[in-house]
Chains A and B, each alone.
Chain A
Amino acid sequence: MSAPAPEAPLLEVRDLVKEFHVGGGLFGKPGVVRAVNGVSFTIRRGETLGLVGESGCGKTTTGRCILQLERPTRGEIVFEGRELTTLADAELRRVRRRMQVIFQDPYSSLNPRMTVGQIIAEPLAVHGIVPDRARREPRVQDLLRHVGLLPQHAHRYPHQLSGGQRQRVGVARALALEPSLIVCDEPVSALDVSIQAQIINLLEDLQAEFGLTYLFVAHDLSVVRHISDRVAVMYLGKIVELADRKSLYEDPLHPYTRALLSAVPIPDPALEAQRERIVLGGEVPSPLRPPSGCVFHPRCPIAVDRCRDEVPTLREIRPRHWAACLLA
């Protein structure tokens, strides 16, 4: 295996398409949902890319395709120099060690019948990293310490822990295999507000310590702004805007990004009273029957006639700032 060139991105996603076949059963006609519709982006080593959008926009499916938990319908995923979509299972297993995932719900993503120690040690055994059982114990202790848990937590069961502690276990399990990429899928949205900041700080500390790269999938724009270097905004299976954090938040180009940002509540009544809010009409259309032209045009406050017919491409409108809008 040849090492990738130093300046090559850690991950490159090219024209990713993922279709799901739905219906055809008792109810309704069969149809095809294109959950991800031609998504391309790269992530540099050590970087955090935020992927934001509302439910059904395809952000989670994109993450799952990268991890090969879903096999893409079309497109390429190049990770550490290797194209994953054509790899055989055995090879894929080796690559998977290098990419891990942290799920949203620490209640359902940990096996309730295993102790915390067993949960963290399992990947070490499965992947043959630490085949010797006796030597797994110190490694587990080491991981517990890194995520801010105590040695005695190894003997507890998930239900004996609080939500924040459970998410720390999820982080330790992801770290166990020393991955280079971690897909964080809404890692704090199920946690109490007072605990969210603890987990975000932990993720940032670990990134600095181990040089980790994150794909941070979330719907909370304030959290994404805090943690990301660059941000991609998705709507109905497509990236509508992609830019460095600063330019995206300070100078958004796509009307959907602007509406999303204006909908985020700010905990300050005086400020909120003066703030103008772009309330979008309607709802996200069904991906079974996406609108013609620009998929956002039925809800867009600035749409013109040609938005109904012409599909906007993601263009670099300013240096390093891409948007898919005919009017940008």
Chain B
Amino acid sequence: MANLLEVQSLVTQFVTRGGVVRAVDDVSWDVAEGETVALVGESGCGKSVSALSIMRLVAGPAGRIVSGRILFKGRDLLGLSEEEMRHVRGREIGMIFQEPMTSLNPVLTIGRQLTEGLEIHLGASPAAARRRAVELLGLVGIPDPAKRLSQYPHQFSGGMRQRMMIAMAIACDPALILADEPTTALDVTIQAQILELMKDLSRRLGVAMLIITHNLGVVARYADRVNVMYAGKIVERGTARALYANPRHPYTLGLLRSVPRLDEPERARLDPIDGQPPDLTRLPPGCAFAPRCAFRVERCTHEVPPLGAVGGDGHVSACWEIARLEQAAAR
């Protein structure tokens, strides 16, 4: 499969009073056509800033993309004019955010918010846009779509609003959808509905998806490949199957082991990851995870480990102590 999106050596920084925050620090990854890729990590790891960088929505002047390339269908998005970029947003890349209520306009009807993009991006007539809007609402499982068009976001429940966001994201038939924590604000049973819907749509429409989440569990069922981020860097990447079965970075292993699982026997105690999340303005000179790492050796404190192959199908990890980790993970 050809690469639809290729992020190369991306560096995005923010200037704060506390110093320069290297939110995304020389990161490379890609999404193939029709593929579902996950970007997983905790708050401040740079996953959301990665998505904002792709859409060129990093808030200046504090934040800026310092270097790198973002190739979408072979074109570098960082070289596009603002006018060209507007055509990419919404038309070629759809977006779904965590909080549907804050990303929908409360004073516009559902219908208007759906037809606006169709009219602007596709030049659809008002009547054609309306027909398409009804079709889209039906597609995302909103009952009685014709009637719903004249309603406002506050008349929709949380789950219905997220369906509406998905309808907007797929409206112009994009090649890629960026979904930033699409189910985090939703209840468990609604979460399941929305994820099943997204999976179903990506298959039927052949659209590629980038799912950004803090929850490794959520994407296990849906992602083809997973990138794990920590402190602005990718620390491990692999097919979902390889990464969950054979985690090869102490952080991934720690995340998987720290959460209780319904399919496992009850444990007397959980195994947390020690310490606190890193302060991005004061990262250690070596591996950013070293202060919390159970496998740390002297080298980790002053030398940043590069991503290296640890298995087939592009499974890579950035750790100096892979051999010891493999032994421990086997236990």
Interchain CB contact under 8 A, B276 and A222: no
Interchain CB contact under 8 A, A193 and B262: no
Contacts of A266 in B (CB 8 A): 217, 220, 261-263
> Chain A contact residues (Cβ within 8 angstroms of B): what range?
35 or more
Interchain CB contact under 8 A, A277 and B220: no
Among B216, B254, B260, B271, max chain A CB count under 10 A is at: B260
What is the number of residues of chain B that contact chain A, defined by CB distance less than 8 Å? 45
Contacts of A55 in B (CB 8 A): 187
Q: Is A230 an interface residue (CB 8 A)?
A: no
Interchain CB contact under 8 A, A194 and B272: yes
Q: Is B191 an interface residue (CB 8 A)?
A: yes
Closest A residue to B230 by beta carbon equals: A194
Query: Smallest Cβ distance from B296 to chain A, in angstroms?
Result: 16
A196-B258, A283-B157 as given contacts; A271 in contact with B270, CB under 8 Å: no
A192-B43, A197-B270 as given contacts; A54 in contact with B245, CB under 8 Å: no
Q: Is B221 an interface residue (CB 8 A)?
A: yes
Q: From residue 260 to 299 of chain A, which have CB atoms closer than 8 A to chain B?
A: 260-273, 277, 279-280, 283-284
Contacts of A260 in B (CB 8 A): 188-189
Interchain CB contact under 8 A, A267 and B160: no
Contacts of B258 in A (CB 8 A): 193-194, 196-197
Q: Is A40 an interface residue (CB 8 A)?
A: no
Please measure, in the bound complex, the distance between the C-alpha atom of A225 and the C-alpha atom of B263, giving whole angstroms. Answer: 11
Contacts of A268 in B (CB 8 A): 220, 244-245, 263
**Tally of A-B Cβ pairs under 8 angstroms:** 128
Closest B residue to A261 by beta carbon equals: B262
Contacts of A225 in B (CB 8 A): 260, 262, 266
Interchain CB contact under 8 A, B244 and A269: yes
Contact with A along B220-259 (1 / 0, CB 8 A): 1101000000000000000011001100000000111011
Please measure, in the bound complex, the distance between the C-alpha atom of A201 and the C-alpha atom of B267, giving whole angstroms. Answer: 11
Interchain CB contact under 8 A, B220 and A269: yes
Q: Is B196 an interface residue (CB 8 A)?
A: yes
Q: Is B56 an interface residue (CB 8 A)?
A: no
Query: Smallest Cβ distance from A257 to chain B, in angstroms?
Result: 11
Q: Is A15 an interface residue (CB 8 A)?
A: no
A283 contact from B42, B190, B244, Cβ within 8 A:
B190
B259 contact from A162, A163, A193, A198, Cβ within 8 A:
A193
Closest B residue to A284 by beta carbon equals: B187
Query: Smallest Cβ distance from A243 to chain B, in angstroms?
Result: 15
Interchain CB contact under 8 A, A162 and B276: yes
Query: Smallest Cβ distance from B294 to chain A, in angstroms?
Result: 12
Contacts of A249 in B (CB 8 A): 262
What would be 14 A-B contacts, judged by CB atoms less than 8 Å apart? Answer: A55-B187, A164-B276, A193-B215, A193-B258, A194-B254, A194-B273, A194-B292, A197-B273, A198-B273, A204-B269, A223-B260, A260-B189, A267-B220, A273-B221
Measured CB to CB, the residues of B under 8 A from A are: 42-43, 157, 159-160, 187-193, 196, 214-218, 220-221, 223, 240-241, 244-245, 254-256, 258-263, 266-267, 269-274, 276-277, 292
Q: Given contact pairs A54-B189, A261-B262, A266-B263, enumerate 17 new A-B contacts (beta carbons under 8 Å).
A: A54-B187, A193-B214, A193-B258, A193-B259, A196-B272, A197-B270, A219-B187, A219-B188, A225-B262, A265-B215, A266-B262, A267-B216, A267-B220, A269-B241, A270-B245, A277-B196, A279-B189
